[in-house]
Amino acid sequence: MEEEQNKETTQVNQTATAPVNERKGFNITSMVLGIIAILFCCVWYINIPCAIIAIIFSIAGRKDAARGMGIAGLVLGIVALALYAIIIVLGVAAITGFTSSMVY
């Protein structure tokens, strides 16, 4: 009788501990895309999509227990977009400065 109870509790414990849906892949992908976005911050057709996807994947992987890589991907994606915006502003300011100082 006691053996049957042990078997039943073992079966109940095995079914109760279902595998947790880990989102480690989202966090790793987010960090890798954030690094790529930072490295190619001057190339808009690589920077902008990689940074946006890094931000989206880090938000999707936020529920994982080990979410440090996701936070890193989020920060890298935001910094990459900010760097690109600064590069655009400096470029426009430089072009404007050069054209206004030219003598005709």
Number of structural domains the chain divides into: 1
90 domain residue, yes or no: yes
Q: Domain of residue 78: give its range.
A: 34-104
25 domain residue, yes or no: no
10 domain residue, yes or no: no
Residues 1-51: pLDDT tens digits? 666 665 655 555 555 554 556 778 999 999 999 999 999 999 999 999 999
How would you label 73-90 residue by residue, b for 16+ Cβ within 10 Å and e otherwise? Answer: bbbbbbebbebbeeeeee
20 domain residue, yes or no: no
The average pLDDT across 41-66 equals 92
Alpha helix (H) residue ranges in the chain = 2-16, 24-39, 44-60, 68-100
Q: What is the pTM (predicted TM-score) of this model?
A: 0.73
59 domain residue, yes or no: yes
57 domain residue, yes or no: yes
